[in-house]
Amino acid sequence: MTFSRFSSWLGATMLVSALACGDDDGASDAGRVDGGAIDAGFDGGGVDAGRDAGDVDAGSDAGRDGGVDAGTDAAAVPCDPACGVGRTCCGGVCVNTNNDSRHCGGCGTTCEGPTNYCTGGRCEAVPCDGACVGTETCCGTMCCGAGQICCDPQGPIEAGPRCVDPDPSTGVCPQGCAPLCMCNAPGTPIATPSGTVAIADLKVGDLVYSVHEGAVVAVPIARTRTADVPSDHRVVRLVLDDGTVLEISPSHPLVDGRTIGDLRLGDSIEGVGVAEATLVPYGGDRTYDILPASDTGTYFVGDARIDSTIAR
């Protein structure tokens, strides 16, 4: 695997910043960041680090219609089995359009900007906006602590989203919350100082590349998570211009606010072009995610940087 696209981040003489990892999840101390020079393998050609954020117009469709297949409307992709009462099929996934910010009031209606919270099928300002501090994440009217996720678990439709904890012994998501935790196939290649490593083989304390304080550095993994997936789970099969092949859940976040499911042929992930984006059945029974101990919580799959679903 070539890491030529890292050169604009690293520079010829950049040293890995020394970082400490907290162990709030009960795991052993993840250790300090290697103070040595960054792997010389990341010294190829330059990459335009100043990606054009204006390429995605938040106020327009930008050619995307909510489904992975560019020629298929999100609402037209069937859900099998059919969605239950109070759920709507959008892009092959059963959602609650009363409080789903990506399908608010209907498939493909996204809540963005200052009104990025969906309630009663309408986009409104987040009730707890500005109240959550540090590692807390706003979830409706609540602030989720580190390690918690914001989801709408099984139960009364009108209950809305709330903060929930994955199983502390396994990291498995509660029933009904799995779609927010479904992430990467086990073989997803993660960039580390020793080369690419399959995400399923990584553990807390292992070093991976992330962005911290504006620079690409090797940091320890703070937390890991796995999620059981239903037999009908679908993933986006991405083929990137650098040759990397990925299978990732459609709802997995990118660093610019988009999701994996938003990607189309010709799009890019931080400058890495997308040569193929296809919604396909998932052949596995679990998905995986990691949270690097950095201020962004992001990591690199091949040469492309994506976000984590685990709350910082």
Distant-in-sequence, close-in-space partners of 250: CB < 8 Å, separation ≥ 6: 68, 91, 93, 234, 235, 236, 259, 260, 261, 279
pLDDT digits (tens, 9 = 90+) for 151-189: 655 444 445 566 776 554 444 555 555 545 567 899 999
pLDDT at 222 over 90: yes
81 is written with which tokens?
Answer: 């089995």
Note the pLDDT of residue 118: 76
Q: Could you give the domains of the chain?
A: 4-50+182-306 (2.170.16.10), 74-172 (no CATH)
* Segments in 108-232 forming alpha helices (H): 178-181
Note the pLDDT of residue 24: 39
Looking at 69-73, 94-98, 259-263, which range is the least confident one? 69-73
pLDDT digits (tens, 9 = 90+) for 37-93: 334 344 444 434 444 434 434 343 433 343 334 334 545 678 877 887 777 888 888
Q: Quick one: pLDDT band at residue 129, thresholds 50, 70, 90?
A: low
State the average pLDDT for the chain: 71
Amino acid at 45: G
Note the pLDDT of residue 257: 81
Beta bridge partners of 124: 117
Tokens 């200052």 sit on residue = 114
Compute the C-alpha angle 172/175/176, nearest 5°: 120
72 vs 271: CA distance, rounded Å: 26
- In this prediction the pTM is 0.48
pLDDT digits (tens, 9 = 90+) for 272-304: 999 998 888 888 888 899 999 999 999 999 899
Cis preceding linkage at 161, omega within 30: no
